[in-house]
Chain A
């Protein structure tokens, strides 16, 4: 009887080992591209769209004949909004599937979780979401906005064009809002705003009961000085927040809210009537009227077979990131990560708003900053934009710890955090 049991157990062991063994069978006739976006769990709401975007871009590239004469093959995995699983899946993509590049992650913590894996196995990650900055890795390309490409221009707009004097910095309690608010606080104080005119508030993820906070904002804004809310509230919690604003009668004329995480996708989940006139700062809006954007939207609608689906900023970031990668591979004539990483710096590709995205030495890109007002059809009307593209700054000049740090991935510095005062490069894992 123990024999049969042994057999069962041996089979289980064999199965476990086979994970490792199957890595041998990697085909050489395609170039694999990893897609690392959560398809289940809390982040699936935002990330599934990006997976579809990547599939579309790869599909389009294959229609154009692929890359280096080979077809591209997407490898989709589901890290399930689970941060350790992100690291595991990243390792699987790089070590087992031997992908040439990975497009993925949304939250900062997922990026932090996979970062050591990419650095250890020398993979390439294209990260498409606006984030808090304070990072520049040899293996990561940041195609979303750094704080200087979103937050600071938005505050400038509120201050100069709307005459805002009192500020509510409301955010979800995690690293992106914390850092952005630190930067903004320093920036506002540098502009002469007093402590008493800044209110900072943090809420947990998925916060749904906004009654007290909105009531506090209302009280804060009732002093006669023009007040605005700078919101770094994370995607999902925005819907009940805006609903509560509308219901408590705070209109965009009284207290405008400028959000950094609310885009077309988030608005498509709500009735936008009460939100009309509130603002968002992004580097792309679906409503931008350019031929590139029109073509992109048409392709997207054809691919997803639904004309009501919207496009948003992180999708554009993937579009730019993918095209830059394709160009870099063509330039390098190889998908070897080191060669691609070297080739990609300085390359440029058209963005969807009529300008150009250039990959900078610090692995960030140039982006225009647009400020849009929410319309009642769920789209944004651009009310302000920068004259030209703003280069992404990895290390903020407004944080005491990082104002002396620069990132430059070209020789002689070749470092993601190089201290210009001590002339030292620290914290590198390669």
Chain B
């Protein structure tokens, strides 16, 4: 295992560097091509594409968060969608409050869906979300604290392997059912929509979209670098040791639970940030994001890109989601065959994912 990690690291840094360079180039190029190049030019990038890319980037950050716990810590979380959605809801609540009296009922205090359901005052947990700083704090805190509490309970009782995976799934499933309830005060199945502006910027303007795109790119780069730093640090080494031999690591004297707990919570925070950036770009957050199948899909992105490489996760997220966008338009009746087939083939023939393939090719050249 040791040599694997070492050679791996060398390679990873290469892959990571290339990824960061590409990300930087895209981040610079896309806004220029969108704003400065005239619409009829073949080089023009439409706002549709910008929003789409922005969405992919938030997915990529989510995938990095999953790769951190799965690839380096050995925790297969089938519930990361929950942290993503919670971050998204925190942002969504801020955006709802920003609507103010511009809602359809013109009520300055209550979001439309509450007026609609005859609520008379704002529930306590909605207070504070009219402030951006508070919402931003909640984007980080809510998923982080939930992951911390959940992790504290489970890691302490030494729940591992599939048991852990399944109860993370139970967590996101329970949250999904809870958020579907209209009594919860989060808009039920319709979720939160009809956002108007963010920090005073109109969400429908091209400039805001570019801004969000750049913010997503920066968040991805930042998240990537933080994870890279983490896995290269001593903590990261211990994490890999836990992944490969948990009991042995514990016997050597490391506090396995602590390591797992902090990395898991950090990963949840990253997922929350991704969710917060995702919501203003797609314009809706709804309990469907908590669906266990979504969380499984995230794991699939990571597997396709290549586990324990971080940049592989990014690659997987981009590839699968681009494939989805493309195929649902081109072959609406048969795209699931293609997507399902891709999952099977990659698992069979590319156990290391695409990153593994690239690395092999790189080594051969």
Contacts and interface: CB of A to CB of B under 8 A. Distances in A.
- Answer yes or no: A and B touching, Cβ < 8 Å: yes
Interface of A: 1-6, 8-9, 12-13, 15-17, 19-21, 23-24, 39-40, 76-80, 82-85, 87-89, 91-92, 95-96, 107-109, 112-113, 115-117, 120, 134-135, 173-175, 178-179, 182, 202, 204-205, 399-402, 405, 416-417, 419, 422, 424, 426-427, 429
Interface in B318-365: 318-319, 322, 324-326, 328-329, 332-333, 335-336, 358, 361-363, 365
Interface string B173-207: 00001001110000011110111100000001000
B28 to A, nearest CB: 13
A109 B286 contact: yes
Given A401-B116, A427-B102, A39 B193 contact: no
| Chain B interface residue number, banded | 35 or more
Interface of B: 14-15, 18-19, 22, 25-26, 33, 40, 42-49, 51-53, 55-56, 101-107, 112-113, 115-118, 177, 180-182, 188-191, 193-196, 204, 282-284, 286, 288, 315, 318-319, 322, 324-326, 328-329, 332-333, 335-336, 358, 361-363, 365
B57 to A, nearest CB: 11
A426 B284 contact: no
B328 A87 contact: no
A15 to B, nearest CB: 7
Taking each of B40, B332, B361, which has the highest tally of chain A beta carbons within 10 Å of its own beta carbon?
B332
A2 B188 contact: no
Contact of B113 (A24, A175, A400): A175
Given A13-B22, A109-B189, A426 B104 contact: yes
B183 to A, nearest CB: 9
Contact of A87 (B46, B112, B283): B283
A9 B42 contact: no
26 contacts: A1-B365, A20-B44, A20-B48, A20-B49, A21-B42, A21-B44, A23-B48, A77-B329, A78-B328, A79-B328, A80-B328, A82-B288, A83-B288, A85-B324, A88-B325, A112-B284, A113-B284, A116-B204, A117-B283, A120-B204, A173-B180, A173-B182, A182-B118, A417-B104, A426-B103, A427-B194
Taking each of B45, B105, B188, B326, which has the highest tally of chain A beta carbons within 10 Å of its own beta carbon?
B105
Contact of B361 (A4, A20, A120): A4
A202 B177 CA distance: 13
Interface class of chain B by DSSP: helix
A423 B160 CA distance: 62
A419 B106 contact: yes
Contact of A16 (B322, B324, B336): B322
